[in-house]
Amino acid sequence: MEVIRENKFDDVDSPSSVGLVETKLYTYVNPPDVMVLDSGQKISPVTIAFETYGNLNSEGSNAVLIFHALSGDAHAAGFNSRKDAKPGWWDIMIGPGKPFDSNKHFIICANIIGGCRGSTGPSSMNPSTGKPYGLTFPEITIKDMVKPQKTLIEHLGIKKLLCVAGGSMGAMQALQWIVSYPGMSEGAVIIATTPQHTALQIAFNSIGRYAIISDPAWNNGDYYGSSKKKPDMGLSIARMIGHITYLSEEAMHKKFGRKFISGGKKNKPVADFTKDFEVESYLQYQSESFIKRFDANSYLYISKAIDNFNIAEGHSNLAEAFKGIKARCLLVSFSSDWLYPKEQSLKMVRALKINGIETTYINIESEYGHDAFLIEDRKLKSVLKGFLSSLEETGE
Amino acid sequence: MEVIRENKFDDVDSPSSVGLVETKLYTYVNPPDVMVLDSGQKISPVTIAFETYGNLNSEGSNAVLIFHALSGDAHAAGFNSRKDAKPGWWDIMIGPGKPFDSNKHFIICANIIGGCRGSTGPSSMNPSTGKPYGLTFPEITIKDMVKPQKTLIEHLGIKKLLCVAGGSMGAMQALQWIVSYPGMSEGAVIIATTPQHTALQIAFNSIGRYAIISDPAWNNGDYYGSSKKKPDMGLSIARMIGHITYLSEEAMHKKFGRKFISGGKKNKPVADFTKDFEVESYLQYQSESFIKRFDANSYLYISKAIDNFNIAEGHSNLAEAFKGIKARCLLVSFSSDWLYPKEQSLKMVRALKINGIETTYINIESEYGHDAFLIEDRKLKSVLKGFLSSLEETGE
């Protein structure tokens, strides 16, 4: 979630920050109950980590569910501790006076199943072996990710959400939600995503996975325990490949160009293959911070779920898949996002409109590529605010 | 050099094939003589492998020097043996009746210094240690690559070339040639390249290098000898990343889409992270064939030379750098080449025209991305033929 332009973040005492927040746990299933996955496999227990900001109103009509992207987690806003250097991953959008306004809305964000940030995933204990799952963790899908979140919402006393929202894989979950649970959300914000990955998008993810499983330390997924080496090298490479695709050529050019790290020492007597240019050091720094907080097996399972995602699957076409949707939709793409170019959003806009679903679409001019949704952007904020207001009016 | 669309190749007996050819060796320097590199370091001996097709005419005016790209070699056309499954890497362009016409032209192609296909490179013997160079091989530049080729040309009795030509890194060498040796070529064909890498282009190469040096088998560049494991894993990843950038989204989509390898078994009980989609198996197949013929250290040195290349270096701008050029230029870009987009060619076209250099430019509509220059294309062939004819007329 690191971005090429640093956001100016609120601090914990800012009036527009949700301040200190706590990550909670929700048990979705406990033995003998089981979660039956999309693949038919069963798993239990399943716990998911979540955070909430603001309060549910007495009508239960102001709840917004935020979905995170590949590398995200439940901590979307505020600070878990006064010592945190940075707030949650979408703090620019969540808080008093922000588009997802904790003074008006009850905002929920949960870590997905398969993740490594508090929810049940490959690094969790497999109760049948007493050891971490590793590769015995079952395959998961985007459909599987939204399921425990639906029950969490009901558990929190919410019958219908005001809105679901997410970017990238988060938007895939938002799409899945409005398709799987028609009538369970008044609106949906679907940012920088696609109804299914193309060969190029699969290829980028797959090379990352290939790097992880080629790392000798990966050890067929069995690397947990303090005595074992983790597949940091493979995960670093996967992250660097991903990171490139999240940025725009323009932003990289502006920030790094061809700048050298140490004053233009281009032709050194001994070649340095990865540490001459600023862009190289940036990518390595980003991947080093990533491997500290992310599990390589989670990366495999989640990126695979993204590649397998196909909202049109089982339908003759996309419009057919969108037939039952009851939510009003806002779709957003970014002009410099070459990972999920605007054509993929437009495809969905057309399929929604064929079904007469009220749909707003905007392609925002931005130089920040795919990651633009994580960056302070006045246009995105105002579009989100407008959309949320219109949903509130309908709800009244 | 593998392409997403298979060319229909000539066989060894085709009238349009140069037929059986032999790779020869040319000794550029032998101790006590040394080659002084761009970095100031010295190296000796330096041998380069080369091939020729056709015959030099009595005036010595029909010679064409072809430069190869990152993964190429001296074997540009024809067959080294009747058993070869495929001809040289640019056979579609070189041979009787083809744009580089062995009935009319004397065509030369040499493996670059730093390479691993017959020329002196990191896998060659370091005479001062009696062992392969590995990382004791000095840093090389594009300028260093053209130097031994210039002497080779003179050695072959050529005072002035009719044309230099190349695509990608080959085109960088062509650019370097006409800048370094004004008057040494009547024309230059500069296909799908850039005057210098941007941050994005550096980033792709750098992650590949990072994968190689992170491979434990790389062993700080010391992995030669039959008893040692080679850094195949790192080189595979580097090749896969490179390969993606050589293809276009459109071509990948047409060829692979979201097709599964074994009849749509998407949700298997056990997750398979890199072997479900056809595009995944394609990338792995390509990288497996690549690691058999390429040396990982050569990949490091050559890709680094590409990142360091900056034809404008030492000049206030590109037009200034092009001031002394005497060659007539043909620049070609491809509409779907997102690695070297047409803007980078246009930058050079403008800088050439500012200097009053006769320049032809064409952006060819193609769906094959950066690799388009390696693929049968009627338009490219006819443009090359026309350009070569115009050079011949001037020469007469």
At B164-174, the pLDDT tens digits run: 999 999 999 99
Chain B residue numbers with beta carbons less than 8 Å from the beta carbon of A267 are 38-40, 139, 141, 308
* Mean pLDDT (whole number) for B356-376: 96
Lowest mean pLDDT among A41-45, A364-368, B102-106, B252-256: B252-256
Residue to substitute from B43, B113, B206, interface A, most A β-carbons within 10 A? B206
Rg (CA), chain A: 21
Q: Would you say residue A371 has pLDDT above 70?
A: yes
B residues 27-56 lying closer than 8 A (beta carbon) to A? 38-41
CA distances (Å), origin B383, targets A215, B166, B243: 47, 14, 26
When pLDDT is cut at 50, 70 and 90, the band that residue A2 belongs to is very low
* Domain boundaries of chain B, sorted by first residue: 24-197+311-395
* Mean pLDDT (whole number) for A289-301: 97
Mean pLDDT of chain B: 94
Residue A252 to chain B, least CA–CA distance (Å):
6
- The answer to whether residues B300 and A271 touch, using CB atoms and an 8 Å cutoff, is yes
Q: Strand, coil or helix: what is B150?
A: helix
Cβ-in-10-Å burial (0-12, 13-18, 19+) of A230 comes to middle
Residue type, B211: A
* Mean pLDDT (whole number) for A339-344: 97
B127-149 confidence digits (pLDDT tens): 999 999 999 999 999 999 999 99
pLDDT at A8: 85
* Mean pLDDT (whole number) for B94-116: 98
Q: Does B241 touch chain A (CB under 8 A)?
A: yes
Chain B residue numbers with beta carbons less than 8 Å from the beta carbon of A367 are none
Q: Would you say residue A193 has pLDDT above 70?
A: yes
Q: What is the DSSP letter of A218?
A: G
Q: Would you say residue A109 has pLDDT above 70?
A: yes
Q: Would you say residue A355 has pLDDT above 60?
A: yes
pLDDT at B2: 45
Q: Does A256 touch chain B (CB under 8 A)?
A: yes
pLDDT at A269: 47
Residue to substitute from A201, A210, A290, A311, interface B, most B β-carbons within 10 A? A210
Q: Does A281 touch chain B (CB under 8 A)?
A: no
Q: Would you say residue A138 has pLDDT above 80?
A: yes
Give me the interface pTM, i.e. the ipTM: 0.93
DSSP A76-128: -SSBSSTT-SS--TTTTTBSTTSSB-TTT-EEEEEPPTT-SSSSS-TTSEETT
- The answer to whether residues A167 and A69 touch, using CB atoms and an 8 Å cutoff, is yes
Kindly determine whether residue A252 and residue B38, on different chains, have CB atoms separated by under 8 Å.
Answer: no
CA distances (Å), origin B373, targets A250, B69, B104: 26, 11, 22
In whole angstroms, give the CA distance from residue B154 to residue B160: 9
B182-229 confidence digits (pLDDT tens): 999 999 999 999 999 999 999 999 999 999 999 999 999 999 988 889
pLDDT at A226: 83
Mean pLDDT of chain A: 94
**Active centre residues of B (catalytic):** 168, 337, 370
Q: Nearest-CA residue of chain B relative to A199?
A: B257
* Mean pLDDT (whole number) for B72-88: 97
Buried b (16+ CB within 10 A) or exposed e, B92-114: bbbbbebbbbbebbbbbbbbbbb
Kindly determine whether residue B269 and residue A197, on different chains, have CB atoms separated by under 8 Å.
Answer: no
Strands B359-364 and B328-334: parallel
Q: Would you say residue B78 has pLDDT above 60?
A: yes
DSSP B173-232: HHHHHHHHSTTSEEEEEEES--SB--HHHHHHHHHHHHHHHHSGGGGGG---STTSPP-H
pLDDT at B226: 83
pLDDT at B8: 85
A residues 68-127 lying closer than 8 A (beta carbon) to B? none
In whole angstroms, give the CA distance from residue B91 to residue B10: 8
User: Whole-prediction pTM value?
Assistant: 0.95
In whole angstroms, give the CA distance from residue B169 to residue A139: 42
pLDDT at B263: 53
Q: What is the DSSP letter of B32?
A: T
Size of interface A-B (CB pairs under 8 A): 181
**Which residue in the set A139, A203, A249 is minimally distant from B279, CB to CB?**
A203
Residue type, A263: G
Q: DSSP H helical segments within B228-366, as ranges?
A: 232-246, 249-255, 278-293, 296-308, 318-321, 342-354
pLDDT at B267: 47
pLDDT at B282: 93
CATH no. of B24-197+311-395: 3.40.50.1820
A10-69 confidence digits (pLDDT tens): 999 999 999 999 999 999 999 999 999 999 999 999 999 999 999 999 999 999 999 999
**Active centre residues of A (catalytic):** 168, 337, 370
Lowest mean pLDDT among A79-93, A189-203, A246-260: A246-260
Chain A residue numbers with beta carbons less than 8 Å from the beta carbon of B276 are 307-308
When pLDDT is cut at 50, 70 and 90, the band that residue A7 belongs to is confident
Q: Nearest-CA residue of chain A relative to B238?
A: A207
Residue A234 to chain B, least CA–CA distance (Å):
8
B52 beta partners: B108
